Structure 1
């Protein structure tokens, strides 16, 4: 149940996400060790684990991979929604180039749609549940130009792949115009140190649906810090979260040790 308090200015001061679930960027290869073990642990973590992100190579890769198919199927059968990573490159608005070396929004749109279709072509039959759009913009843009790009690719995904769950990851708080761009928004991605002083925007705090929001917290070195991060995420109205002791350059290429992981599981999905 959502519980809100108001400051003197009428801004929500606290929200409670109620039942939460872990949503894990699973950037580890299920075809070898320790990646296969991590994928098994993810599946065993259901129902506390609600979502995981498969990422063979900053996207679906160049060809079908049976080890990913097996991992997706096992997780899906356990009740975890596995979604496929797609890099949107900010649709070229920051100068990022596609794999073909182009920066135009049309080239990026073509690459993104092609990656979405390859995910479903190769893994749709194994239980793929949706798409994770990374490197997303978080501001509306002039005349909503930026957010309309994400609305369009989200609509494309749902029109061509019925039932797809869509997630946008700007890695920072998105403007409220993004509320219709995807089913879930990653509103925070950063270190525990940054998270302790971060403030969620008022439109997130006041939302009646915490499952629209996901927080990703890394460099959380102790279980006590992880427990505090989980408590903060609930206050900030995040229905999905993931906290890890892993750190840059890739904080998503492991799972925490058993005691840490078990503790985190026990604090979500309850």
Structure 2
């Protein structure tokens, strides 16, 4: 299953890492601890939030999928990801898990890689590296998702590896128009489908027309509390909270999770997920996966958000 470290999410992510490292170095040089912002949930008491989970774990791994919808209200949204996408055949375990979660009130969206629309030179599922190649490949995977799991209550599609810029110097809307095409394709399958695009950082405002929900932050707890605003677009402050999803890993403790949730309320995120899982990986692996289990404080997080 594809998982990006926060260093690869967007052009601005490397700058955030450098700023974070500089702040830590400065604090160590001064012989002092680096202070972190403290969230105040009461400052945004009107924000209605739900937990939204990148559920990159197999239904056969313990009872993690069953836990998604409990304790009530459980997760409001979950991403299913059998094989960095739907795979080449229906998986009965996933079909049952999606159906159970959907019936319990958790919207389940299927993972589709959009490959940064070829801007990193990656090859699309059907070959080629152009924007059209990636859109065509994504459409074939959307077809598979609805063919395999539409009858199980699939609630929409999650496009990973999204972009933050609307377009190129020669075509100002080249990228966002591609995501609009994909959104229309999904809505053609199900007019009520939830369409999520994950650039992992704040995209330009044009993307609010390309998705129902945008992942505008994906990274570590320390980056979230120290550098969240480095590249934040102004539209986020006044958007409908349901448009915004924040993903925070490497929290380390329940208290830090609660602080992250409080900060996310102040930052207008209608969907949020914090986990004590981290981005560590074995030697030789390119990326770690901080989304391969539920946090140790799962019930407390549901209660904190709900």
What TM-score do the two structures reach when normalised by structure 2?
0.79
Task: Say whether the 8 Å CA contact 2:125–2:134 is kept in structure 1.
Answer: no
Are 1:202 and 2:234 matched, yes or no? Answer: yes
8 A contact 2:68–2:74 mirrored in 1: no
Q: CA–CA distance in 2 between the matches of 1:267 and 1:85?
A: 27
Contact 1:52 1:80 in 2 (8 A): yes
* CA separation of 1:17 and 1:167: change in aligned 2, threshold 3 A: farther
Q: Is 1:261 aligned to 2:298, yes or no? A: yes
**2:253 maps to what in 1?**
222
Query: Are residue 252 (structure 1) and residue 291 (structure 2) matched?
Result: yes
Structure 2: runs of 5 or more not aligned:
1-42, 280-287
Tell me which residue corresponds to 2:166.
140
Structure 2 residue aligned with 1:7: none
**Number of equivalenced pairs:** 250
Q: For residue 202 of structure 1, report the CA deviation from its aligned partner.
A: 2.1
| 2:278 partner SS | coil
**CA spacing shift, 1:57–1:46, aligned 2, 3 Å:** farther
| 1:90 equivalenced with 2:90 (yes/no) | no
The match for 2:200 among 158, 171, 177 is: 171
Q: TM-score, normalised by structure 1?
A: 0.89
Structure 1 segments, 4+ long, off by >3 Å, are 14-17
Unaligned runs of 5+ in 1: 1-13
Asked whether the equivalents of residues 205 and 237 of structure 1 are also in contact (C-alpha less than 8 Å), the reply is yes
- Name the CA distance, whole Å, in 2 between partners of 1:17 and 1:211: 13
In 2, Cα distance between the equivalents of 1:17 and 1:98?
Answer: 42
1:177-217 CA distance string (max 9 Å, x none): 1010000000000000100021243211122x101100000
Match of 1:76 in 2: 102
> SS in structure 1 opposite 2:124?
coil
CA distance in 1, matches of 2:98, 2:290: 21
- The separation in 2 between residues aligned to 1:168 and 1:182, in whole angstroms, is 6
Q: How does 1:1-270 map to 2 (within 5 A)?
A: 18-30=47-59, 32-34=60-62, 37-142=63-168, 143-197=172-226, 198-199=228-229, 200-207=232-239, 209-248=240-279, 249-257=288-296, 260-269=297-306
- RMSD (CA atoms): 1.4
